[in-house]
Structures are given as C-alpha cells and as structure tokens.
Homo-oligomer: A and B are copies of this chain.
Amino acid sequence: MFHLVTLTTDFGDGSCYVAAMKGVLLGVCPAANIIDLSHRIPPQDLRYAAYFLLAAVPYFPPGTLHVVVVDPGVGSERGILYVEAAGQRLLAPDNGCWTLLVDEANPPARVIRLTEPQYWRPQVSNTFHGRDIFAPVAGHLLNGADPAALGEPVAEWRTLALPRPTITDTELSGEVVFIDDFGNLLTNIPGEALLKWADRPVRITAGAHVISRRVRTYAEADSGALVGLISSMNTVEIAVVQGSAARILGAKIGWPVQVRADFLR
C-alpha cells in the first residue's frame, strides 16, 4: 500500500482550511504520509498552479497521489478529476491546472470525473470541496479504493497551456512564465535553444532591460550582477546574483524575453 499524498492549495500557510483537509484525510486513512507542497499558490491563479505542478510533481516517486485545490469554480458545475498522468496520480478541479504535465505525445493514462458521493463526506458544502470531496477521496485512494469506482471515465477536460516560445536561427522569443521566491525570472524559452550559441556572445532582453552577461551558475558573477543562465528547469532564466531580479527590474509574469545571437559584436 502506497500512502504518500501531497497537498497543493491556495488557502494560505497555516490556513484552518488546510488543517481541516488534513483531519478529514487522516480520518479516512490514518496511515497517510501527508507532504505539504505549497499552500501559497496565489489565490485562484491557475497558471501559477500549473507551472508549480510542472516544477514539482515529476520528481515524486511513481504513483504518488497529488491533491490540488486551486478551485475558483468551487460549487459550480465544474467537475473534479482523478488523473493518472506522467506516472503520477492527481485529484484536481477540472480547470486545466494539471495539464502542463501532459501533451499530445504524452497523454494522461486515465481521467475519471468524480461522481460517487459514497466516497465523500456525508454533507458536502458549497464552498469547500477540498474538505468535503478531495480529502476523503484521497484517503480512500490511499486505502486502496479502485479509481474506477469513484466516477466515470472522461475523454475531455479543460486545458491550460504555457505560451509557446518562437525559435528561429537567430532569435529566441518567449516570456516570463514564473517568478520564484528569490525573484529569479523563469521563461518558457528552452535552455537547449540557448546552448547552440554557447560559444558566441548573446544579447538577452527582458521587458526594456538588456542582460549582456551570460553565466553557467550564479557564483560566476559578482553580487548584484544581472545575468542570464539556464535554470534548474532547463529554461532560460534571468537573475540578479544574490538579489531579486523581479524587484530590481520590476518584472512581471508575461514580460517578453528575447535572446539574440550577437553575431556582429
């Protein structure tokens, strides 16, 4: 029996709602090993949640159950899905937040829409399905419940997609898709694309700012330097060494980023 379950919500650290979810989950499965991933997803920010899951979920052992409650549609007709994808298992609202984990080449192995209330709390509130549906279903899954018993298989679901970068022989164009707690700017431009110019100077722009220094690692440049590098997610990252690029540049999600081989320089 595999008792590992992670929680990702936008409820806030130390929220009584997270506490109640843990109580319900442990009530159904006292052997659950609950791992907090984050309760600081910005409220109802599905894109942030999607990128967060992409950065965290693939590192877990296969079969881990990930409960994701970022759910602006709670109480509406939006479904709640059990998903098997990328070797992982998820419970998430049908709002696309998990869909960066899959693509056409790697579709989910199974998607089931929860319909069977015998796996839920007897009274389901209109505003807190995390406690009343997600948590007890997670407990039953950890206890070995057959996912097929939870509801109906579905072939359609809502999707989110990261904006696609544009990659040519001389220019990589994308945008800032995530800002981490250090203030580093993560883009959607694949790091591999930058590697083809490994031996040439490049010119990186982010918003109206020019980043002329490219490094392999933060420690290569002095404190305060504005640098471009390949992130731990294998994408182009813009950082201020031992500082916050987000704060210093005033950067935001969606900022355009360009990388150009500076052949003339």
Contact = CB atoms under 8 A, between A and B. Distances in A.
B219 A73 contact: yes
Residue of A11, A14, A74 with most chain B CB atoms under a 10 A cut-off: A14
A56 interface: yes
A75 B16 contact: no
Interface in A192-220: 216-220
Interface stretch (A107-115, A229-237, A252-260): A229-237
Interface in A1-54: 2, 4, 6, 8, 11-17, 19-24, 26-27, 30, 33-41, 43-44, 51-52
* Cβ-closest 6 pairs across A and B: A75-B217, A12-B181, A23-B59, A14-B40, A14-B38, A128-B232
A151 interface: no
Contacts of A33: 33
- Chain A interface size, under 10 / 10 to 19 / 20 to 34 / 35 or more: 35 or more
B219 A72 contact: yes
A157 interface: no
Nearest to A53: B16
A23 B56 contact: yes
Contacts of A230: 125-127
Interface string A157-187: 0000000000000000000000011100000
Interface in A121-154: 125-128, 131-132
Contacts of A51: 16
Nearest to A231: B127
Given A12-B181, A59-B131, A61-B30, A216 B40 contact: no
Given A38-B15, A180-B17, A131 B24 contact: no
A217 B232 CA distance: 40
10 contacts: A8-B19, A12-B180, A13-B13, A13-B38, A16-B51, A16-B55, A16-B56, A23-B56, A23-B57, A72-B242
Contacts of A34: 35
A180 B128 contact: no
Contacts of A43: 181-182, 242
A12 to B, nearest CB: 3
A154 to B, nearest CB: 20
A6 to B, nearest CB: 8
A242 B10 CA distance: 12
